[in-house]
């Protein structure tokens, strides 16, 4: 969805186009950030976080804890250094009636605080009417760690004809307007190959921007495409997170296939919220600080603190995760979804850093 150094690059093209990925050296990064994952490498995939008065609260994709499925994992820190994993705590214990509760596949939660002090969680879940596909939904709570309640009766964002939607993240602009970025999961209805989308014709997996009212969920107007997958992005762009650094809008995203070592974190910048965005990167790649397939970087709303994941003790993904020939709009993808989203190793550990940017070059500061 998802590391530490001064990002370098060799070329950048307009949003949706290709870009050349320049890889930074380990020596550049070791000077600028923590090498070790937080929580001793605890499995915490697709992480996102929010800062409130008592500290930082982080949320992650579903996991089985003591043989019980936890839909949304939770962690906490008061100082952005020492994190506590809330083992067994589920921030979203109950799913809406339209969700595929037998195999929900709850991914990539993201929390924003509303003006009245309450909280809204955006998240991804499978729809029982189209169990091979995912939709974006929202839930609310008076407490940052929940429990969150989803009162929707139908999916909130779910363009099933083009693959559904995943990886939502909230953004609060300087003028107080609220927005959501998310990915249209086009590769879920792709034609096969790596992550279902390297067999031509290649399907678009665009990152979309949707404005919402101050309640955090009532949509204003239609969504706007910010970027999509180009020739050098591999089968997808996904895991968007929108922030503002050095007076510019910065859209972080991952490209390539999450089940391969080519997965990465990249970013794109724009002077205007709605674009056009110019791609740069990658920011983090396999081999940086010993990480494998880093991805899903989330930058906190209104700040520069970031969290992302990388695999621990990597093993090769099952063949059906890397190369899938889909028949009937992702049926095979749905069948293998839990196995394919499982970690190819002991887990996907979370990493943190403090980001800054100058002249479209993102760097990460040490946490010491």
Per-residue pLDDT tens listing for the chain (368 residues):
433 222 322 222 233 333 333 333 333 343 344 468 999 999 999 999 999 999 999 999 999 999 999 999 999 999 999 999 999 999 999 999 999 999 999 999 999 999 999 999 999 999 999 999 999 999 999 999 999 999 999 999 999 999 999 999 999 999 999 999 999 999 999 999 999 999 999 999 999 999 999 999 999 999 999 999 999 999 999 999 999 999 999 999 999 999 999 999 999 999 999 999 999 989 999 998 889 999 999 999 988 999 999 998 776 665 555 554 333 344 444 434 444 554 445 689 999 999 999 999 999 875 54
Q: Quick one: pLDDT at residue 313?
A: 76
The dihedrals phi and psi of 26, each to the nearest 5 degrees, come to: -60, -35
46 flagged as catalytic? yes
Longest CA–CA span in the chain (Å) reads 51
Q: What is the pLDDT of residue 4?
A: 28
**3-state class (DSSP) for residue 11:** coil
Query: Does residue 97 lie in a domain region?
Result: yes
CATH number at residue 234: 2.115.10.20
Q: What is the pLDDT of residue 367?
A: 56
Strands 84-85 and 73-77: antiparallel
What's the rounded Cα separation, in Å, for the pair 266 and 239? 10
Calpha distance 365→249 (Å, rounded): 19
Q: How far apart are CA 229 and CA 223, in angstroms?
A: 17
Please give the pLDDT value at position 333.
43
Asked if the structure places residue 328 within a domain, the reply is yes
Q: Please check whether residue 12 lies inside any domain of the structure.
A: no
Q: Give the integer Cα–Cα distance in Å for 351 and 41.
A: 9
Cβ contact 122:168 at 8 Å: yes
The 8-class DSSP code of residue 325 comes to: -
Say which of 90, 100, 238, 304 is annotated catalytic: 238
Instruction: Judge contact between 187 and 196, C-beta under 8 A.
Output: yes
- Phi, psi dihedral angles at 338 (to 5 degrees): -65, -45
The C-alpha atoms of residue 296 and residue 265 are separated, in whole angstroms, by 7
For residue 13, being part of any structural domain is answered with no
Residue 183 is assigned to a structural domain of this protein: yes
* Count of structural domains, the chain: 1
Residue 321 pLDDT: 57
Query: How much helix, strand and coil, in percent to the nearest 5, is found in the chain?
Result: 10, 40, 50
Residues with Cβ within 8 Å of 137's Cβ and at least 6 positions away in sequence, in order, are: 96, 99, 122, 123, 124, 125, 150, 152, 155, 156, 157
CA distance 272 to 250: 10
**Is position 2 within any domain?**
no
Whole-number Å distance between alpha carbons of 193 and 319: 10
> Residue 346 has what pLDDT?
62
* DSSP per-residue letters across 19-62: ---PPPPHHHHHTTS--SPGGGG-B--S-EEEEETTEEEEEE--
Residue 10 lies in a domain: no
pTM value surpassing 0.75: yes
15 within a domain of the structure (yes/no): no
Domain that holds residue 71: 26-365
Structure token pair of residue 164? 């559904």
């Amino acid at each position: 969805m998802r590391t530490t150094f001064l990002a370098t690059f060799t070329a950048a093209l307009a949003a949706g186009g290709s870009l050349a990925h320049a890889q930074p050296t380990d020596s550049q990064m070791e000077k600028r950030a923590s090498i070790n994952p937080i929580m001793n490498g605890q499995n915490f995939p697709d992480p996102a976080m929010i800062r409130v008065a008592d500290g930082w609260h982080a949320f992650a994709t579903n996991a089985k804890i003591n043989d019980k499925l936890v839909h949304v994992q939770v962690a906490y820190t008061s100082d952005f250094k020492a994190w506590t994993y809330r083992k067994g705590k589920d921030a979203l214990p109950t799913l809406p009636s339209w969700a595929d509760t037998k195999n929900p596949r709850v991914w990539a939660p993201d929390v924003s605080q509303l003006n009245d002090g309450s909280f809204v969680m955006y998240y991804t879940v499978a729809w029982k009417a189209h169990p091979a596909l995912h939709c974006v939904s929202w839930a609310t709570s008076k407490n940052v760690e929940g429990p969150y309640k989803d009162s929707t009766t139908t999916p909130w964002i779910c363009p099933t004809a083009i693959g559904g939607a995943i990886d939502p993240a909230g953004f609060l602009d300087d003028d107080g307007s609220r927005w959501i970025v998310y990915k249209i999961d086009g590769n879920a209805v792709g034609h096969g190959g790596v992550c279902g989308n390297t067999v031509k014709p290649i399907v678009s997996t665009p990152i979309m921007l949707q404005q919402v009212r101050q309640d955090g969920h009532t949509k204003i107007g239609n969504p706007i495409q910010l970027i999509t997958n180009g020739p050098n992005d591999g089968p997808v762009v996904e895991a968007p997170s929108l922030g503002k650094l050095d007076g510019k809008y910065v859209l972080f995203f991952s490209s390539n296939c999450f089940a391969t070592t080519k997965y990465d974190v990249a970013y794109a910048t724009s002077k205007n919220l709605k674009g056009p965005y110019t791609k740069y990167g990658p920011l983090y790649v396999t081999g940086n600080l010993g990480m494998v397939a880093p991805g899903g970087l989330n930058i906190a709303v209104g700040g520069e603190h970031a969290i992302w994941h990388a695999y621990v003790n990597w093993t090769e993904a099952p063949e059906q995760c890397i190369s899938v020939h889909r028949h009937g709009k992702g049926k095979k993808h749905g069948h293998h979804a839990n196995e394919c989203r499982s970690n190819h190793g002991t887990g996907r550990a979370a990493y943190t850093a403090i980001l800054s940017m100058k002249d479209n070059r993102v760097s990460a500061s040490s946490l010491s």
